[in-house]
A and B are shown apart, each in its own frame.
Chain A
Amino acid sequence: MAWAVFIVLSVLCVGAVAAMIVSRNQAHNALFLVLAFASLGGLFGLLDAPFAAAVQVLVYAGAIMVLFLFAIMMFNLRRPAPREKKTLRAALAAGLGTVLFVELVLAARKALAGSVPTGAPGGIEGLGRLLFTDYLYAFEITSLLILAALVGALALAGKKEDA
Chain B
Amino acid sequence: MIPPPAFLFLAVLLFGLGVLAFFVKKDLLTQFMAVEIMLNAGNLAFLSLAKAFGRAEGQALVLFVITVAAAEAVVGLAIIVVVFRQRRSLRTDELKDLKG
Contacts and interface: CB of A to CB of B under 8 A. Distances in A.
Contact of B13 (A47, A101, A112, A130): A101
Interface string B23-67: 111110110111011001001110111111111111110111011
For A63, A93, A121, the residue with the greatest tally of chain B CB atoms inside 10 Å of its CB is A121
The interface residues of chain B, by DSSP majority, are classed as helix
Interface in A63-89: 63-64, 67-68, 71-72, 74-75, 77, 81, 84, 89
A52 B77 contact: no
Given A33-B33, A122-B56, A157-B78, A142 B64 contact: yes
A108 B5 contact: yes
B56 A130 contact: yes
Nearest to B80: A71
Contacts of A75: 29, 84, 90
Given A93-B19, A100-B15, A121-B58, A108 B78 contact: no
Interface string B65-100: 011111111110111111011000011000000000
Given A14-B17, A49-B50, A77-B90, 19 more contacts: A13-B14, A33-B33, A44-B47, A46-B7, A49-B59, A52-B59, A81-B27, A93-B23, A96-B23, A97-B20, A98-B16, A104-B12, A104-B16, A112-B8, A118-B53, A138-B64, A156-B79, A156-B82, A157-B77
Interface of B: 1-2, 4-27, 29-30, 32-34, 36-37, 40, 43-45, 47-60, 62-64, 66-75, 77-82, 84-85, 90-91
Interface of A: 2-3, 6, 10, 13-14, 17-18, 20-21, 26, 29-30, 33, 36-37, 40, 43-44, 46-49, 51-52, 55-56, 59-60, 63-64, 67-68, 71-72, 74-75, 77, 81, 84, 89-90, 92-94, 96-98, 100-101, 104-105, 108-109, 111-112, 115-122, 126-127, 130-131, 134-135, 138, 142, 145-146, 148-150, 152-154, 156-157, 161
